[in-house]
A and B are shown apart, each in its own frame.
Chain A
């Protein structure tokens, strides 16, 4: 079984993914923690374009948000979700 990870490790890892996507596709991603209607920012880009944000839920606790999903190719998007899902599912 995979070793469990802390939220700070998740933040660090997500920041690397978000940086990579921003540099490659000029798309801004950020990670949020879901508390009912409250979706609190925890990692990723602080900036974004002024288009409507689309929230994509990773599990009951985390979601990735971006206004720029259309800039990211489908395969890359799936790769990101898969990676982030793996990180998120390991958070204790």
Chain B
């Protein structure tokens, strides 16, 4: 039986959507996703010639956003040798834009109350097996203390259901609480320096409230861009059933002055080729209106969730082979963007796809409400939105990344010194941001190794650091190298949060 909304919930739901904040971005009442046009482009770009694919690769290497027909050509590739060229190009583009650093973060789920009833979601309101609650501010503080003081994270993505109890005011309070946490560590102190949010679409006024408390990135996934499928999966009358309210929420965020926005699709709901095209159209529309594309793109695959049979029944499950193609095509289509691979995926898949364009990943991940301070070791279905594929500790993941030749970065410098919006876009497109990435990766990784690493991880990490510092000495101006060495020594002496 459908769980009925209370009067308070109904009253709140009726006030959320502001039609006038959507219509202004639409063209003659139409949004920028034309299902028929997307399918026509996919169908009219079959059997692309080798030369065309190589021209497209070349364009991506110049960090230019692809045209829809170009992305459609990549999606239609069949030749395994050409796919290898695409994977190689994805790897090179990532290196050019972000160097060999991988940024890490942790999700923090603050509540699982939700007025929506999405068929694929463990937190849907009809799902009676989920234990419902939101964290108090004191509980949030405890979670942040574990994350910053025991694990060593500096960057979070905080997650909330869509509910009047976890409205914009509550979200703003939780973010202030997290930013206030400062914990003594072995050699310095730990703090969360960037709080990104994964929340429901909001009005411009609510987004301004979040901007004013200093959120990092505003992340919302469209789930699927296909109108018909979206309608089927999000029951009519629920807040989330309004496709355009969701589609234009990043436009509203940019209008409100939050100039880092993140998009994504949940793969497994519809044909993956269509949703890759949807992501491209989304990035292009943001660029068209604001000159700013998505700060990051996410591409989670459906994972099992408690009492959610839709997940087993879907006809659109994405194979590992296709998942790899999704990542490479997104990397080439929107070459400047950050790309997030999460612990939804197993360790082996993460290992395999990381080299083809990933820039951010999570570790020591717990997604149960209050799970970090509870210190639970087994996943608990009845308080998680879905089940994780990789529960390894940050220490283990960092050691593996170091063995693979990657430096783990805890950098949060950009949004604290104006490398945001169209300025960061310009730095990304010209490859200059990669220099900041490298310098700040060295400093923040050094902090983490000194404060949190096991002896094995510290040894692996120090080797990577040595190599990175040598590279900086060879490639960057002498004064930059000298400044880096000065900061490095100051971090060894216990100073924290020094950045370029």
Interface, chain A (partner B; CB < 8 A): 30-33, 35-42, 46-47, 49-53, 55, 65, 67
Contact = CB atoms under 8 A, between A and B. Distances in A.
B216 interface: yes
Given A40-B418, A50-B477, 16 more contacts: A30-B418, A36-B179, A38-B211, A38-B216, A38-B416, A39-B420, A41-B418, A41-B420, A46-B426, A47-B426, A47-B427, A50-B435, A51-B479, A52-B500, A65-B417, A65-B418
B128 interface: no
The 7 closest A-B CB pairs, nearest first, are A36-B214, A32-B418, A37-B214, A41-B423, A41-B418, A53-B417, A38-B214
B252 interface: no
B111 interface: no
B316 to A, nearest CB: 37
Given A33-B257, A47-B432, A51-B483, A39 B500 contact: no
A35 B499 contact: no
A35 B477 contact: no
B2 interface: no
A71 to B, nearest CB: 12
Contacts of A35: 211-214, 257
20 contacts: A30-B418, A35-B211, A35-B212, A35-B257, A37-B214, A38-B215, A39-B416, A39-B417, A40-B415, A41-B418, A41-B419, A46-B422, A46-B426, A46-B427, A47-B427, A47-B432, A49-B480, A51-B500, A53-B418, A65-B418
B193 interface: yes
Contacts of A42: 421
Nearest to B426: A46
B271 to A, nearest CB: 37
Interface of B: 179, 193-194, 211-216, 257-259, 415-424, 426-427, 432, 435-436, 439, 476-477, 479-480, 483, 487, 498-500
B259 A40 contact: yes
A51 B499 CA distance: 9
Contact of A55 (B417, B420, B427, B436): B417
Contacts of A51: 479-480, 483, 500
Given A50-B435, A51-B483, A39 B498 contact: no
A49 B432 CA distance: 10
A79 B213 CA distance: 32
B111 to A, nearest CB: 22
Nearest to A67: B500
B259 A50 contact: no
Nearest to B481: A50
Contacts of B436: 50
Nearest to B486: A52
B423 A46 contact: yes
Contacts of A67: 500
B473 to A, nearest CB: 13
Nearest to A31: B418
A46 B424 CA distance: 8
A52 B421 CA distance: 19
B193 A41 contact: no
A63 to B, nearest CB: 8
A38 to B, nearest CB: 4
B427 A37 contact: no
Contacts of B421: 40-42
Contacts of B419: 41
B476 A50 contact: yes
Contacts of A50: 435-436, 439, 476-477, 480, 500
B213 to A, nearest CB: 5
Contacts of B216: 38
A41 B259 contact: yes
Contacts of A52: 483, 487, 498-500
B153 to A, nearest CB: 15
A39 B480 CA distance: 23
B179 A37 contact: yes
Contacts of B214: 35-38
B179 A39 contact: no
Contacts of B420: 38-41
Contacts of B258: 38
Nearest to B472: A50
A37 to B, nearest CB: 4
A59 B193 CA distance: 22
Contacts of A41: 259, 418-424
Nearest to B498: A52
A49 B436 CA distance: 10
Contact of B194 (A31, A33, A37): A37
Contacts of A38: 211, 214-216, 258, 415-416, 420
Contacts of A46: 422-423, 426-427
Contacts of B418: 30-32, 39-41, 53, 65
B345 to A, nearest CB: 30
Which of A35, A55, A65 has the most C-beta atoms of chain B within 10 angstroms of its own C-beta? Answer: A35
Nearest to B211: A35
B171 to A, nearest CB: 13
B63 to A, nearest CB: 15
